[in-house]
A = this chain, B = another copy of it.
Amino acid sequence: MIKVLLVDDHMLVRVGLIEVIETHGGMKVVADVANGEEALVAYESHRPDVVVMDFRMPGESGADTTRRLIERHPDAKVLILSVYEGEEDVGRAVQSGARGYLSKGVDTADLLDAITSLAEDRPYFPARIAQKIRKRDERGRLTEREMTTLELLVQGMSNKEISQELSISVATVKLHISNILEKMEVSDRTQAAIAAVQRGVVHLDD
């Protein structure tokens, strides 16, 4: 009997998951929680074989929660479930130690298949996802400073505003942005902003 822990802030998705998983003989949902904090607690008290975790949640992200979970329990098997498939999201999930990544659009068979794989200690990354992970690795990674600059850029700030915000000269901001454009393989700031959102490098909050 595979014991599963669900972590998702959407009640409807949790209910759907429970229904699908419980209907399948051989799996059982031992607990379902709505955020990262509760996830850690639930993990320790239920010791599930597999954790099915939403990627984007209010508060702590799925990637952060996964990282913290795996720090304490290196053998925890986390399957990330997400509506989004941006390269950066996927890449961060992998980096955090997740053993699988699934779109929320999955059908029943694939979902059960993924959970079974993880329970048997095999990773589960569909071809399209694996493709994105490679794509992300090919591109140069942004440094911390470049990342901060990109975030401000996505907030719509001009070079001057960014320079004031970070207390550096406009020249430096321009250099950072120049590097960002090159690494992201785009040719101007607007494209960088859009690409950042699309790839999941920066998340827009409503």
Contact = CB atoms under 8 A, between A and B. Distances in A.
Contacts of A191: 156
- Chain A contact-residue range equals 35 or more
A15 B10 contact: no
Contacts of A186: 156
A68 interface: no
Contact of A19 (B9, B10, B16, B155): B16
Interface string A6-21: 0001111111111110
Task: From A11, A86, A197, A204, name the one whose CB has the most chain B CB atoms within 10 angstroms.
Answer: A11
A98 interface: no
Task: From A19, A156, A190, A195, name the one whose CB has the most chain B CB atoms within 10 angstroms.
Answer: A190
4 smallest CB-CB distances across A and B, nearest first, come from A16-B16, A156-B191, A12-B16, A15-B16
A144 interface: no
B198 A204 contact: yes
A104 B195 CA distance: 26
A15 B13 CA distance: 8
Contacts of A104: 10, 12-13
Contacts of A204: 194, 197-198
